[in-house]
Amino acid sequence: MSRVGVFVCHCGENIARNVKVQEVVESSRDIPGAVVTADYPYLCSAPGQQMVIDAIEEHDLDRVVVAACSPQLHEPTFRAAAAQAGLNPHLCEMANIREHCSWVHRDTEQASAKAYQTVVAAVERVKRSRPLDPIEVPVTKRALVGKDAAAPAWGFSNRYEMPNDFLRLAFIRDQSDNTPYEVVGNFVETDLSSPLAVKYVWDDPDVTRYDPILTTVVALSLALDLVEPLTQSNTKKEKIETALTFWLGKAANVNGSERRPGKVKDTSWLVARARGG
């Protein structure tokens, strides 16, 4: 059985104004596996982090849930604190009860109930987490590329053939920082003069180091082909289709970074948003 510590942050009034922190703490005591529950005014402060570290050591915790703000803000903080106490950092999860509960709900009862459910979900998630160790994968290379003898048929004055192991352009070192370019097959077309200083993702023949988006898309594509004949389940097929659409979107975002984005025109809607209107 996991030994989970649940720490609930007030964030001053940011959380405590709309979420009944004490009630969340008390209810959390009944979550299976939650052996320590506590609250603190500002958990990301040095004493707040120390409280988490001390609790891990004192109660021999093997999992931690911090119910506070967005993980985007402080997940690294609390994972570092967990690591300081000897815990694998990936056994620390955050439950976002500030942005997802306090800041978006006015009804205290409902915000508190949602905060509790968010904590329950985080505890269940962390109970299933496995320790992970970071790996470092060098995926980019730098090169100085000479101009191709042939110019593009139209649009740009120069084209540069990328190295044989070129997969994707990461960036071009461009002093003016706004010269347009376009990736066309294995060429980069631009008005920049030779040599072109590029950083690119290279074709690594070691399959264990492939781009995770690529491996995910390939796996989902195979699953989509096989799910119906193997399971006759439309529900499973729809789930895989949804996941594949999501990851293809991510891949498209990456592909989109190969071309400098065009400037968005200031429509009345954008102007109103910028002014907070």
- Name the token pair of 78: 């609390």
Can you give 114-125 as a three-state secondary structure string? HHHHHHHHHHHH
Closest approach of Cβ 5 to ligand SF4, in Å? 15
Find the binder of ligand SF4 among 34, 51, 56, 68 (CB under 6 A).
68
Amino acid found at 100: H
As given in the structure block, the two tokens for residue 63 are: 């999992």
Please tell me whether residue 74 binds ligand SF4 under the rule CB under 6 A: yes
Q: What region does 32 belong to: left with phi over 0, alpha with psi -120 to 50, or beta?
A: beta
- Cα dihedral 50, 53, 55, 57 sign: negative
| Segment contacting ligand SF4 by CB under 6 A, of 67-75, 103-111, 116-124, 251-259 | 67-75
By the rule CB under 6 A, 79 interacts with ligand SF4: no
Among 35, 43, 55, 87, binds ligand SF4 (CB under 6 A): 43
* Of residues 15 and 198, the one with the C-beta less far from ligand SF4: 15
Q: Decide: is 98 part of the binding site for ligand SF4 (CB under 6 A).
A: yes
How many angstroms separate the CA atoms of 158 and 188, rounded?
Answer: 8
Q: Pick out residues in 126-165 that bind ligand SF4 (CB under 6 A).
A: none
Among 4, 8, 11, 24, binds ligand SF4 (CB under 6 A): 11
- Please state whether beta strands 166-172 and 196-202 pair in parallel, antiparallel, or not at all (unpaired): antiparallel
- Kindly tell me which of 74 and 127 has the beta carbon lying closer to ligand SF4: 74
Contacts of 33 (CB under 8 A, 6+ apart): 1, 2, 3, 4, 63, 123, 127
Pick the binder of ligand SF4 from 38, 42, 143, 258 (CB under 6 A).
Answer: 42
Q: H or E element: which one contains 60?
A: none
Q: Compute the least distance from the CB of residue 45 to ligand SF4, in Å.
A: 7
Q: Look up residue 1 and give its two tokens.
A: 């059985």
Measured in degrees and rounded to the nearest 5, phi and psi for residue 20 equal: -80, 90
44 lies in the site for ligand SF4, by CB under 6 A: yes
Chain contacts with ligand SF4 (rule: CB under 6 A): 9, 11, 14-15, 42-44, 68-69, 73-74, 98
